[in-house]
Amino acid sequence: MERHRQTRRHTIAILSAMLASGLASVAAPGFTQNKVSSTLRIGYQKYGPLTILKGTGALEKRLVPLGVDVKWTEFTAGPQLLEGLNVGSIDFGTTGEAPPIFAQAAGADLVYVANEPAAPGGEAIIVPKTSTLKSVADLKGKKIVLNKGSNVHYLLVKVLEKAGIAYRDVETIFLPPADARAAFERGSADAWVIWDPFLAAAEKQLGARILADGKGTVSNHQFYLAARPYAQKHPEVLKALLDELARADEWILQNVKQTTTIFSSQTGLPTDVVELSNGRFSFHVQPISEQVIREQQSIADTFADLKLIPKKIQIKDAVFDIKSSTK
Summarised one tens digit per residue, pLDDT across range 179-196 is 999 999 999 999 999 999
Q: Is 139:133 a contact under the CB 8 Å cutoff?
A: yes
pLDDT average, residue stretch 87-102: 94
Q: Is the pTM of this model over 0.75?
A: yes
Distance between CA 59 and CA 245 in Å, rounded?
9
Q: Is 226:92 a contact under the CB 8 Å cutoff?
A: yes
Which CA distances in Å does 278 have to 4, 204, 231, 255?
Answer: 22, 14, 29, 12
Summarised one tens digit per residue, pLDDT across range 131-148 is 999 999 999 999 999 999
Domain residue limits, the chain? 2-119+221-325, 121-213
- Give me the chain's average pLDDT, please: 88
CATH fold of 2-119+221-325 reads D-Maltodextrin-Binding Protein; domain 2 (3.40.190)
- Matching CATH topology for 2-119+221-325 and 121-213? yes
Distance between CA 209 and CA 175 in Å, rounded?
20
Confidence class of residue 327 from pLDDT cuts 50, 70 and 90?
low
- Domain at 121-213, CATH class: alpha beta
Q: Is 126:205 a contact under the CB 8 Å cutoff?
A: no
- Asked if the model's pLDDT at residue 19 lies above 90, the reply is no
- Asked if the model's pLDDT at residue 314 lies above 60, the reply is yes
